[in-house]
Copies of this chain bind each other. A is one copy, B any other.
Amino acid sequence: MIPRTVAKVSLLCACVLGGGLAAERPAPKAKSFTEILASSQPSDWRPLDPDNTLYLELASGRVVIELAPTFAPRHAANLKTLVREKYFDGLAFVRSQDNYVVQWADPVEVGGRSLGTAAASLPPEFTTPWTPNLPFTRLADRDGYAPQVGFSQGFPVGRDPKRKEVWLTHCYGAVGVARDSDPTSGSGSSLYVVTGHAPRHLDRNFCVIGRVVLGMEKLSVLPRGTGALGFYEKPEQRTPILALRLASGVAPGERTELEVLRTDTKTWTALVEARRNRRDDWYKVPAGYIELGNLPIPVRPTPK
């Protein structure tokens, strides 16, 4: 909602992390997003797996990334090798292109830092075979970029039943593997994060390896680079990466304990409907539709 005055905000319910569009008053007929979330059960939430959670440490704070090894097993394994060997520590964001992506890499580039025991190139994992044991909560709403879209293991995915393929989609916060035009040239040594309107045309063309679950606001404000494609033209414009760590390699007391709402629950389905047709007083015309890119997944600190 877009209230006219700041004073109005004191009337608003606080938004949970990852929510962001609260209702000013309880809806008369249907529960609002905020109400549905408030009545969620502990079983609606899942903890992040420390072995598949990355902490990207910046001067501005920590960004938390959830890896999706199911959808990019080789790239996830290679990335974990790079992380364990501290490949990224001291590298930097080299690019910020408005309404598109930020990207980090070895600024020295060709002939730069050794990849250690990690592979320098990998077979592409732009899609992965669909198997019936993969969970899939299909979104009823028609999508332009994929025959079907929905959620699998908490990630927004596309699915092609004919080709029996599934893939992670380039929604806001998606983390992908940069590469050259050779599809085998990606290794995970340079990654990007979607900071703009979902560039879904990248789906099935680049390997998405996970998504940012906390701290997007630290990446989305990185000053835009003035070079071609938003690359920075001067080294001092780059934002340094202090460290990139696996959560399981961080002492338990120093971890960011988070829970993510499960996308295979009735609560999630109700939240999707609350976004598809917003019925609080602010909305005069319910959309009757929700796009995959307009469904951020709620995240919260793990209750004590």
Q: Which residues in A have some Cβ–Cβ distance to B below 8 Å?
A: 1-9, 12-15, 20-22, 24-25, 94-95, 97-101, 103, 105, 107, 109-110, 124, 126, 141-145, 171-172, 176, 178-181, 183, 185-186, 189-190, 192, 196-206, 216-217, 220-224, 227-231, 275, 278, 281-285, 287, 289-291, 293-294, 296
Docked-complex contact B217 and A98, CB < 8 angstroms: yes
CA distance A189 to B4 in the complex (A): 8
Chain B residue numbers with a CB within 8 Å of A199 are 294
A181 touching B9 in the complex, CB below 8 Å, given contacts A2-B103, A190-B4, A289-B144: no
CA distance A124 to B283 in the complex (A): 13
A287 touching B201 in the complex, CB below 8 Å, given contacts A178-B3, A296-B99: yes
Docked-complex contact B231 and A9, CB < 8 angstroms: yes
CA distance A202 to B14 in the complex (A): 20
Chain B residue numbers with a CB within 8 Å of A12 are 228-229
**9 further A-B pairs in the complex, CB-CB below 8 A; given A201-B290, A205-B285:** A2-B101, A2-B192, A2-B202, A8-B180, A99-B216, A142-B144, A197-B198, A197-B294, A200-B294
Least CB distance, A162 to chain B, in whole angstroms: 14
